[in-house]
Amino acid sequence: MAAPSPASKVSFSIHGVGVSSGIAIGHAHLVSHALLEVVHFQVPKALIADEITRFDKAVKTVKHDLETVRRLLPEKAPPELSAFISTHLMILQDHALSETPKQMIKSEGCNAEWALKQQMEDLVAQFEKFEDEYLRERKQDVIQVVERIIKVLLGHPSQVPLRSQESAIILVAHDLSPADAIQFKQHQFAAFITDVGGATSHTAILARSLNIPSIVALQRARTLVRDGELIIVDGNQGVVIVNPDKDTLAEYKLRQEQWEIEQQKLKRLKLTKAVTLDGTSIELHANIEVPEDVSHARAAGATGIGLYRTEFLFMNRREMPGEEEQFSAYRSVAEAMKDLPVTIRTLDLGADKEMNPDTARTCTNPALGLRAIRLCLSEPAIFLTQLRAILRASHYGKIKILIPMLSSITELRQTLALIERAKQSLDAEKAHYDKDIQVGGMIEIPAAALCAEAFARELDFLSIGTNDLIQYSLAIDRTDDTVSHLYNPLHPAVLQLVEMTIRAGNKLGKPVSVCGEMAGEAKLARLLLGFGLRQFSMHPSQILTVKRQILQSDLPLITPVARKILGTQDIDRVEPLLQKLNLQ
């Protein structure tokens, strides 16, 4: 890798979304972006059959590569890696990718790369109609599989070649697939950064599990950064500094050393109970997407699963998972957590009835459409299947049911009636389940927060989904880059809705947790404690950092400052007051 000439070194910074903490300093290595290299040309009729054969061979090669990667996974590799590779194999073998491009080659007389790219764009457009951010991010899986096929068609190497002194190399890519990330286990790259991706993308999930500093959603990093340039990746702040000057480099080297020392100290807190200085016990739970995530939750010392997102079971498939498949997944989590609580959120799909992109429906405003509990109530057969599976699994652990996106008491009562119907069907079969299973509701719509006391009266617990609550309160689409700077969890209106919900639950003796991104922000821990929150749920990688903050907090001291923050209507005063709170 050739370093740029000194005269061409211009220092600049790029801001993105930090998805895995830490600081890395190294030289950039640009990863090929095959999709940009695709051109369109006509294939003579006499060569159409050969073009289709070339496409089939490329698909077969990718299938072999992915199966090899999965087979050679190290024993200690993060468990979700195998699941991601299986997902990519399933996408690869889907008719939409393995057969439809061949029909296009035949009917349009185009080259294989072009046909595949056109089909990919059509599929991505359908994924973008999903209102759920997590599910919408799954379009990246399709793109990553297509890019892998195109690399083979273009004759590019399918694997990242070994390089010397890899610990000083930072990968700069438009996107990285799970298969690419798995190869990192064989390398020692310092970090990676990508143009696309979000906090819930597979790239982000893998980055956290591999403990590699990384930043996504940098927009044009791969275009702006040149091969061999010295860059700093600050995963804590979501900032990439290209060609840093001498003073900046020295400062970040010091920060890097301090960060590594802090991480070693944090590991000592795993077995320490989360108790404030005044003796108040706090529950720190984990958010998970797949059963295999339980190992990370337990490794971080989580005292329960506060949010099990069941959407993963329904994604990238044409048919809904059956009751037995769902039961097996829920039971495995309940048994793995033993006597610790497991909160399973019922289906939180988007505006489309099914995860099958072929049947996706158009919705003018997906975020306000038929999603979550609204969708489940409109599809009682699907909902009852899931409820039966959850209830049956409750016989094997301490399971709770969490209902997403409630907006009215009528909606809640309809849901409770369906839960009762599921119980009655199991009673008729003499099936075992926890007859006293607790049912809670997610407060993620301003209307629900304003009526939190009414919900608390009819539910066993509440869980605040801050991501959607902020989105709906401030009328900001988190996925829209043009307004993302307005997405602010410290907006006075948001804070009042959060506090109002916590107060309603505490008044009626009903537990309240926060399971959105706010719960995993260490700088917000004292504020939420001051509001009366006693249960947090977050990604396992964030638990120890939040626990440290809790161990250093004294409720009698911080509560008055938290109340002062709650009382301000001036958004510009909140941040200074928060800093004061964190200095208490």
Average pLDDT over residues 260-287: 93
Determine the Cα–Cα distance for residues 402 and 373; give it in Å rounded to an integer.
10
Flag whether pLDDT at 148 surpasses 70.
yes
Least confident of 231-245, 299-313, 362-376: 362-376
Q: Is 110 a catalytic residue?
A: no
Tens of pLDDT, residues 120-144: 888 888 877 776 666 666 777 888 8
How many other CB atoms sit within 10 Å of the CB of residue 126?
19
Measured CA to CA, the distance from residue 478 to residue 137 in angstroms comes to 12
- Between 456 and 175, name the one with better pLDDT: 456
Q: Does 514 score more than 50 pLDDT?
A: yes
Tens-digit pLDDT profile for residues 404-437: 999 999 999 999 999 999 999 999 999 999 999 9
Structure confidence at residue 314 as a pLDDT band (50, 70, 90): confident
The active-site residue, picked from 110, 376, 451, 515, is: 515
This prediction's pTM: 0.68
Q: Residue 9 is which amino acid?
A: K
Distance CA 184, CA 203 (A): 12
Residue 16 φ then ψ, to 5°: -145, -155
More confident residue, 481 or 207: 207
Residue 444 pLDDT: 94
User: What is the token pair recorded at 374?
Assistant: 């609204």
Calculate the alpha carbon distances from 172 to 183, 304, 545 in Å. 15, 36, 28
Query: With contact defined as beta carbons under 8 Å apart, do 163 and 31 qualify?
Result: no
| pLDDT, tens only, 343-384 | 999 998 764 334 554 445 556 676 777 788 998 999 899 999
Q: Is 95 among the catalytic positions?
A: no
Compute the distance between CA of residue 491 and CA of residue 487 in angstroms, rounded to an integer. 9
Residue among 202, 285, 296, 539 flagged as catalytic: 202
